[in-house]
Amino acid sequence: MTKPPLLIDLKFSDRAAVVAALKRHFADRDVIDLGAAENAGRDLSDCRYAILWQPDADLFSRATNLDVLFSGGAGVDRVLALEGLPDAPLVRFVDPSLTRRMSEYVVLQCLYHLRQVAAYRSSQKARRWQPLPQPEACAATVGIMGLGELGRDAAAKLKMMGFNVVGWSRTAKTIDGVETFDEAGRDAFLARTDILVGLLPLTAETTGLFDLALFEKLRRGGPLGAPVFINAGRGGSQVEADIVAALDRGILGGASLDVFETEPLSAESPLWDRENVVITPHVAADSDIGALFAHVERQIARFEAGEPLEHVVGRKRGY
């Protein structure tokens, strides 16, 4: 029996990686890759599965019989916002390689600010020998907002490095060795935090959450001199004008930003010129194409065997 075809519409920057990975995956079914010119006007009505990342605007008017949608990245807010999104299960990409890379990014940025790398880079540029106080990781508390797969793994890795770690999520979560707070305890969580890490999905509740009022509630007088903000979650959760204002006023002592309200970040943004700000182009945890396709293969196999899909997004909660 012929298996139903799979549709791929992935606007990833590394097109060659997509092509190469397709040679190693989905050998048992037809794959319609909309990144290939020959598929531009192809009939998509027989497709039952789709892997999506910034798909064509008319996709769902052409692919009208989809049974399962797969997000090409860890975030799903862009997929949920698509025009004409069908009422089919949407599956998040959850993979150990993605989780590990996110934790690496978070640990790197926490250590960058703890060990005052920006200040030493400035001294190096000026050829100035100027030792600075070097607090241990155990002197600082990292507060993680978002305790899903990524947040829990980052918390474990940070604890291994010696940081104190606390966590926050909208609803109560339990993590061994980590004090956690829910919505009612948000101010208490912020008051404990020297380095704030954002790993939240983008929902109506988290849009614009990281603003000046929130930064003002972070711990004052900690070992870094002023709190630091790290965001590797979603750009829509931060108010960039407020980050600039907080930096100007000393409410924040630094920031590491991998995501932005509008991407790519405008060349006119004042964030580019800040020595105490690290900017990366949404690469904290890029999707590994091979891992993504293997994940989709496993989920399709479950679905076709009559087993429940894993990592299905709750449309109302947005993740």
Q: In this predicted model, what pLDDT tens digit does every residue of 256-282 receive, in sequence order?
A: 999 999 999 999 999 999 999 999 999
Residue 287: per-residue pLDDT: 84
Q: What is the pTM of this model?
A: 0.91
Instruction: Tell me if 87 sits within 8 A of 287, measured CB to CB.
Output: no
Instruction: Tell me if 310 sits within 8 A of 302, measured CB to CB.
Output: yes
Catalytic residue among 101, 219, 282, 295: 282
Confidence of residue 41 (pLDDT cuts 50, 70, 90): confident
pLDDT digits over 296-317, tens only? 999 999 999 999 999 999 998 8
Closest CA to 187 of 233, 145, 152, 148: 145
Residue 43: per-residue pLDDT: 92
The yes-or-no answer on residue 282 being catalytic is yes
Has residue 104 got a pLDDT over 90? yes
Has residue 1 got a pLDDT over 80? no
Catalytic residue among 234, 249, 302, 311: 234
The yes-or-no answer on residue 113 being catalytic is no
Q: Tell me what the mean pLDDT of segment 221-246 comes to.
A: 97
Q: Tell me what the mean pLDDT of segment 50-61 comes to.
A: 93
Has residue 54 got a pLDDT over 70? yes
Has residue 294 got a pLDDT over 90? yes
pLDDT digits over 139-186, tens only? 999 999 999 999 999 999 999 999 999 999 999 999 999 999 999 999
